[in-house]
Structure 1
């Protein structure tokens, strides 16, 4: 059968051609990634799953430089008779010059299906630094541990989703419904969510625009279906003081002292909590100020990441941001300047699917950025506790379980 490939250029006038730390050791793998999966009944797709996951992890795709892994997915899906379209994002300061960033859209072939009912999606970017692929066994078993950057977050979900859909197609379990499923793999989730936001903003350019009834998002959830996750916003804080000789502190105003006192008060205050999501947490990611040890600091800055535990989804972050500012101004009414970037409150997902354990998570996802009135599912293999760290790794048995679970979710979404 002739393979089909079309290229959709959104935000770019150039046609995109198709030619377009230290490795982890087995002993370093945390016990949290070890499961009791049995190898007695290896699935028929094991080799394909291992191969696809390996290829994805071997390609460095740190946010802003996702071009190579995107091209790999284009080739992989096209060779399996998927119709593939590329959605090219406008260049950004983090982009690699000469290498466009693009989302990968795909439908089971041979024709593009304009009105899919179910979207299956994850992200192809990772956090830095790149960690090479490795695994504990040359001949994989369910107990094989696979390591490398993205092996969990979120290339495990990407590989499991693709193999799950292929398995459903090959088994004939979605005969007559092939045109109801669409794959979407986006860039930039780990930074600003610009890939999903761009897709959401521009999908009207697809003809006709897709009107999804359900979307299945892949993230590391330890194989549980997520009922919701915390919201998030970032805040840049500047304090203006008055410089002077450190021997006479009453003659100046220490910006670092004011900022430190304000931050401590914030950390000691409940900015918003709920029974389902716990308490709002604040991470002081950056703190800078002053010019010398014997000079009263005239200026100090901090950058915060705030995980929001209250709603509503649209506006919950503003409630917490205002509380944070009020608390800090109670230390000094005039010294603070705030630049709290837009975010969102708690995000609710559907978790009423038979056969799944459920949970809530503290991290952000692309779920919020896909606008529309659709059911939202969040699920994936691996644990967030090793994602973003030097010991990122997953068991093959957990990957295989995810394939079966994604099949269940796709079937459930199609039948709902």
Structure 2
């Protein structure tokens, strides 16, 4: 019996959940814990580190287990991708008082990261244990990145700094991004883009004329954002009906940070986020806002976004996985690290858990999805790394 056979899935997931790897903190400890699992399973592990914008140490890892005797030419294998960071816990309504203490109730395992996406990682670790290296005829990679929840920063760093990732690109394996899809095959997803417009005024007591209200200059920008939002929901040229919803999900807001009604706001920020699609990037719409901001002397700033993904649904990597799973592929409207891995031609998003449970105040994964995920991942490893299935 192997490592994950001796440790039940729920215990292994609880082990990962207890690391509070919120994106604003370091993920080094949880990454080293996963590294221990992988090395026991016979993987050779490369780690790359970087400091995020706040100076916090982050870690990516790429683990590879080649067949005994090396990789036969032409057998590209399987690469599994996940992230080890989780979203913050500002409120928790799970069965326990602590979001980082896994709790089982009602055939569910509750805890921050259980669904997004430490449960998926545990399912793949179990699959890697059930298929031995002696059975492999092609390589198996397991890749864990940082900062997926805050702009895909870890994946971007991996692409630019990991020698092991270059080997994956050269091999062009089936690349599974194990986000929670309910074990349904996803061949495409939207990207994300965003920007802000900042108006600078002058603070003063509101009973005087000494101040300059920053909100006054931002009002025309808000009107433009509203009008463009209406356009995205009525102009067919801005829609792609392969997605639901088919529009850009143009979302905007404003904040002046004012804490008292007797202060003239000195700064007002309008922001906008949109979900780009493979043939609709929204750049013309963004340019209209940038030009309007420039004409008014306002500060315009782009945010780092993420690329959309489109893999042809009739490509072999999609149809073969759909045949194994027993259901057709579909599209989704959220984004993943897959957008950063654009050099990989056989990408698919596929993993246990329901995206509706991700980021919630009582995040959970069903025990059935966790178990089925491990079973299906095992079949996938056998199909792409042993050719036995």
- TM-score, length-normalised on structure 1? 0.73
Q: What aligned pairs does 1:195-206 form with structure 2 within 5 A after superposition?
A: 195-204=154-163
Answering whether residue 147 of structure 2 is matched by residue 147 of structure 1, we say no
1:300-320 deviations in whole A, cap 9, x for unaligned? 212332212x324xxx53xx1
Aligned equivalent of 1:40:
none
Aligned equivalent of 2:193:
233
Aligned-residue Cα RMSD (Å) equals 3.5
Aligned equivalent of 1:136:
104
Match of 1:193 among 125, 144, 152: 152
Distance 1:128 1:285, change over 3 A: farther
Query: Which secondary structure does the structure 1 equivalent of 2:149 belong to?
Result: coil
Q: What aligned pairs does 1:14-413 form with structure 2 within 5 A after superposition?
A: 45=5, 47-63=7-23, 64-87=25-48, 89-96=49-56, 100-108=57-65, 117-129=77-89, 131-136=99-104, 144-169=107-132, 175-177=135-137, 179-204=138-163, 210-239=170-199, 254-270=216-232, 272-277=238-243, 278-284=246-252, 287-288=255-256, 293=261, 297=265, 299-308=267-276, 310-312=277-279, 316-317=280-281, 320-326=282-288, 333-334=295-296, 336-349=298-311, 351-352=318-319, 353-354=322-323, 355-413=326-384
Deviation of 1:261 (Å): 2.4
Measure the CA separation in 2 of the matches of 1:328 and 1:269: 17
Query: Which secondary structure does the structure 2 equivalent of 1:276 belong to?
Result: coil
Distance 1:207 1:324, change over 3 A: closer
1:260-283 deviations in whole A, cap 9, x for unaligned? 323332332317321012111133
Measure the CA separation in 2 of the matches of 1:112 and 1:196: 30
1:23-43 deviations in whole A, cap 9, x for unaligned? xxxxxxxxxxxxxxxxxxxxx
Deviation of 1:123 (Å): 0.7
Query: Which secondary structure does the structure 1 equivalent of 2:232 belong to?
Result: coil
Distance 1:365 1:194, change over 3 A: same
Distance 1:207 1:410, change over 3 A: same
Unmatched 5+ stretches in structure 1: 1-43, 138-142
Query: Which secondary structure does the structure 2 equivalent of 1:155 belong to?
Result: helix
Deviation of 1:201 (Å): 1.5
C-alpha contact (below 8 Å) 2:307/2:340 kept by paired residues: no
Distance 1:125 1:147, change over 3 A: same
Distance 1:254 1:105, change over 3 A: same
| Higher mean C-alpha deviation, range 321-330 or range 362-371 | 321-330
C-alpha contact (below 8 Å) 2:66/2:139 kept by paired residues: no
C-alpha contact (below 8 Å) 2:307/2:339 kept by paired residues: no
- TM-score, length-normalised on structure 2? 0.77
C-alpha contact (below 8 Å) 2:123/2:373 kept by paired residues: yes
C-alpha contact (below 8 Å) 2:232/2:250 kept by paired residues: no
Query: Which secondary structure does the structure 1 equivalent of 2:132 belong to?
Result: helix
C-alpha contact (below 8 Å) 1:258/1:332 kept by paired residues: no
Query: Which secondary structure does the structure 1 equivalent of 2:231 belong to?
Result: coil
Instruction: Give the paired residue count.
Output: 352
Measure the CA separation in 1 of the matches of 2:146 and 2:104: 29
Measure the CA separation in 2 of the matches of 1:59 and 1:113: 35
